[in-house]
Structure 1
Amino acid sequence: MDEYIDIDKNEIPYSFEIELAGEVFEIEINYNQAHDFFTVDLFKDGGVLVIGEKLILNRPLFRNLVNIDLPKIQIIPKDRANSATRITNENLNETVFLYVVGESNE
C-alpha cells in the first residue's frame, strides 16, 4: 500500500483532477478549522458525486454510498506510524495519508 494522494494543506480549500482506475475525477479538499477535520467533495464530468465526505482514519472514503460513477478503487486514510486516533491538521500528509488501494491490480 505505497501509492497515496498528496494533499497540500497550505492550499486548502482546493481542488484537483486525478485519474483513478482509468477514470478522471475532481477532488476538492476542505478543512473545518473549528473542529479540526477534513472533508472531501468528489465530482465526475462536471457533476457532483459526493459532498462533504469526512476523512475518518482507516475507513474507506465513500464506503456507504452506492453509485456506479464512484471510483472503482478504495481511498483509505491510514496512519503509517500507527499512532494517530483521528485525522487532524497536524497529522494529515505527515503520518496520515490517503492511500489508493486496488489501482495496480487492474
Structure 2
Amino acid sequence: MMTVHDTIPIEPDDMPYNRQVDLDSGSYIFGFQWNEIDRTFTIDVSTLDGVAIRQGEVLVLNQPLWRNINIDGLPAETIIPLDESGNEIEIDPGNLGDTVNLCIDDIPDGEAIND
C-alpha cells in the first residue's frame, strides 16, 4: 500500500539515536528509544540547541503524540504512529518504520483515500 501521509523517518535498528526533524512549525531534535523491559518506544523532543521540551513520550498506535499536553515549544503538527493499512494492533521492533510509521496528520478531512 502506498503511504498517504507525510512521515518522519524512523530506524528502530539504530536506537537509541537522535535526528533532526524539520516540520512546518519549526525544526526539532527527536530522540528515539526502545525500552526492552516494558517493550515500548519513546520519543524525546528538544530544540536544535538541545533544550528538552518533552521527554519519554510513549508511542501508542493510532494515538497522537503529546495528546492532551500543553507545553510551549512542542511541534504544532499532529504526529500519529499509524499503520495506514489498518492491519497492525501494536507497535513493536518488527513493524515500526515498516508498516507503522510516524505520520504527520496533514490531510484535510474528507480527502483521505479509502480502499
Task: With the length of structure 1 as denominator, give the TM-score of the two structures.
Answer: 0.88
Partner of 1:18: 21
How do residues 1-106 of structure 1 correspond to structure 2 at under 5 angstroms?
1-44=4-47, 45-102=49-106
Q: Deviations over 1:19-74 (max 9, x none)?
A: 11141100000001123220000001421111110000111001121023111111
Distance 1:22 1:81 in 2: 28
The 3-state SS of whatever aligns with 2:68 is coil
Q: Give me the CA root mean square deviation.
A: 1.8
**Gapped runs of 5+ residues in structure 1?**
none
Counterpart of 2:18, as a letter, is S
> 4+ residue runs of structure 1 moved beyond 6 angstroms?
none
Counterpart of 1:30, as a letter, is Q
Aligned residues: 104
**Gapped runs of 5+ residues in structure 2?**
108-115
Counterpart of 1:94, as a letter, is D
Distance 1:101 1:20 in 2: 12
Structure whose alpha-carbon radius of gyration is higher:
2
Task: With the length of structure 2 as denominator, give the TM-score of the two structures.
Answer: 0.82
